[in-house]
Structure 1
Amino acid sequence: MNYNANTGGRPSLGRKLKRVPATMPQQPNMYPTLDPGMNNFQQGYTSMDTPPQVTSTPNISSQRQNLNQPFNINPLASGTPNISVLGQPVVQDMALQYGQQLAGAGTTMLKNEVEKIVPISKLKYYFAVDTKYVISKMLLLFFPFTHKDWSVKYEQESPIQPRYEINAPDLYIPVMGYVTYVVTAGLVLGMQNRFSPEQIGILASSALAWWVVELAIYSGTLYVIQVQISLRTLDLLAYSGYKFVGTIFSIAVSLIAGRLGYYVCLVYSSFALAFFLVRSLKVQVLSESVQETSYYGSRATTTGHKRRRYFLLFLAAVQPVLSWWLSFHLLAKESA
């Protein structure tokens, strides 16, 4: 007997089974750190049938509360630079170093430009003096007849500073002599009731102009007679400025001894200054030699010796004339 399992009815379980619809398991919260209210906000927009409610009247109190909160901006997100970075010590130090470098470069550039016009480094040599040198040099200007050694000592091809060498030219005594001359002239004019600011200005400018013109005449004379000497322009300026010492002395004596005392002092100071210039410049002006090459060899010869001597005498003879020109109008007028 064959048995078919498909034939016949199935045994009844006694009650009808109900189908339970399958439900999706509840998903865990993917964003646990967010506000739980955000889920409600998202669920409110999941159903497209119920659009969000929009009220026509804004909540003013909530807006005011938001305005009172601090306004924070992320500089990386917005592209706005953070100004507080400039207050960091590292940034301030870098800015300070950069400013110092710019200031140093500007100072160096300005110094180089000024050096082209006025040789400041060379002027320091002419003002390197002390009290002992000034006193000794002024005594030498008034009493040059007892001085024996007139040579200027050198050290490594450069002359020794005036404070260590009395025969070296300086600009301190000429400059201070010029200033003292202007002050003395103002005093004399005040004693004669002829003082005025305009008169002092004219006197100071004319004395300075004559000093510069004198230097230009010396330089032009050397160029015309084609003579080369070792004296520099500042050396000639220094030697031509020593005449203010004798001029001041003559004006001061005229206040006590009158015109006679003035002319006596002027003659003596002019003669002493001429003697001083001749002895001081003789070594540097008359001893210039050049190497002359011929068939028999080379020898040292002195060129333009006579022209050099004339130039030296001309320089010494101009000083008394300029001293008189700068001081004669300051004498008191004799009463008739």
Structure 2
Amino acid sequence: MNYNASSGARHPAQKPSGRKKKHVGDPSTLGTYTPLPYNPYAVPPVYDEHSAGPPPPYGYSPQDYPQQAPLYGQPQGNYGQTPQGFSIPSQLLNEPVVTNMAMQYGQALVGSGKQMVDRELGKYIPVSRLKYYFAVDTTYVTKKLGLLLFPFTHSDWSVKYEQNEPVQPRFEINAPDLYIPLMAYLTYILLAGLILGSQSRFSPEVLGIHASSALAWLVLEVVVELVTLYIINIESSLKTLDLVAFGGYKYVGIIVAVLLSLVFQRTGYYLGILYFGAALAFYLIRTLRIQVLPEGAAQHDPYGNNVSSGSKRRLYFLLFVAVIQPILMWWLSAHLISVPSA
């Protein structure tokens, strides 16, 4: 007899098995217990049979849990891998999308840090202004050194302006810069160490005192010039960094004079100091005259008042700046060629 869905009759061959149906809660239906894989980073609850609380789930025992949970920061097993054996950090780092995001985040972080540093330094140091004084190239440096050593052959001392701002030094040889003074100062210190070593007078302490003394004299010179401008009430376009640059040019003449002393002894040194001191004084007078003492300055103002005394103060300031240069050049270098008697 075939099975009829409407009547629910069975086929003759299909007979009841006669076995008793087991309940779901029968322990024999659970089969063999397979422990869970060990996770070194999991902190399971510790079961204590003497403490209050529900017992562990059916089929588990306290021995299935680790005796002691791993300490924080102490890896167990394969460090950097999940229990399944996959190294997630290395896979993520190899993904191009993750790498690009990390690079973009790093660039944004560096850019924000640079802006913060520039903003904080700008409160105390004119960073944007310093960029102007270091805007030089090889051609400018070569021509400017020739101008400092031989200024008597130069004729045009005017400084070009663009949108009420002076042109960068690499485009204007008459503009002051800080690159040559800085390099000349460092070269002067190294040359002093070389000469002191050849005279058996070298020591790190002496070289440090020599470097700090030279820098202190430059700072003192600039401070005296600024105070003089304020006291005699001279209005000019000179800035503090301009005075630092003009005062730092003296190290170029000192270097050449000291090198001459190595060949021609004291005679070469004194001749070098006299010539390069006079050359630097001439250079400063012609350069500062345009900014401190303009050409064709009127002796009377539009109301007929005599202003010749103001022009005289400006002229005295120029002479003061020019005269102290040879004196400072001698003071900073004379001790390098004088060997103390035994």
Q: TM-score normalised to the size of structure 2?
A: 0.68
Q: Per the alignment, in what secondary structure is the counterpart of residue 117 of structure 1?
A: coil
Distance 2:106 2:150 in 1: 57
Give the Å deviation of 1:94: 6.3
Correspondence 1:1-336 to 2 at 5 A = 62-63=32-33, 65-67=34-36, 100-287=107-294, 304-333=310-339
Give the Å deviation of 1:306: 2.0
Change (3 A) 1:100 1:185: closer
After the TM superposition, which parts of structure 1 deviate over 6 Å for at least 4 consecutive aligned residues? 52-55, 88-96
Unpaired segments ≥5 residues, structure 1 = 1-24, 27-39, 46-51, 71-83
Match of 2:43 in 1: none
Give the Å deviation of 1:119: 2.2
Distance 1:322 1:187 in 2: 21
Q: Is the 8 A contact 1:192 1:332 kept in 2?
A: no
User: Which has the greater radius of gyration?
Assistant: 1
Distance 2:98 2:338 in 1: 72
Distance 1:69 1:108 in 2: 50
One-letter identity of the residue aligned with 2:286? R
Distance 1:96 1:246 in 2: 49
Change (3 A) 1:67 1:231: same
Change (3 A) 1:101 1:331: closer
Distance 1:187 1:265 in 2: 19
Distance 1:231 1:266 in 2: 27
Between structures 1 and 2, the one with greater helix share: 1
1:16-43 residue CA offsets vs partner (Å, 9 max, x unmatched): xxxxxxxxx99xxxxxxxxxxxxx67xx
Distance 1:142 1:92 in 2: 55
1:123-167 residue CA offsets vs partner (Å, 9 max, x unmatched): 222222222222222222222222111111112212122222111
Q: TM-score normalised to the size of structure 1?
A: 0.69
Give the Å deviation of 1:216: 1.4
More displaced stretch, 231-240 vs 130-139 = 130-139
Percent of pairs identical after alignment? Answer: 53
Distance 2:171 2:283 in 1: 19
Unpaired segments ≥5 residues, structure 2 = 1-6, 9-20, 40-87
Give the Å deviation of 1:257: 1.8
Distance 2:174 2:293 in 1: 17
Q: Per the alignment, in what secondary structure is the counterpart of residue 237 of structure 1?
A: helix
Give the Å deviation of 1:239: 0.5
Give the Å deviation of 1:118: 2.4
Distance 1:293 1:256 in 2: 56
One-letter identity of the residue aligned with 2:112? A
1:89-143 residue CA offsets vs partner (Å, 9 max, x unmatched): 8788767655654443232112211222222222222222222222222222222
Give the Å deviation of 1:240: 0.6
Aligned residues: 271
Give the Å deviation of 1:69: 10
Q: Is the 8 A contact 1:130 1:163 kept in 2?
A: yes
Q: RMSD between aligned alpha carbons?
A: 3.7
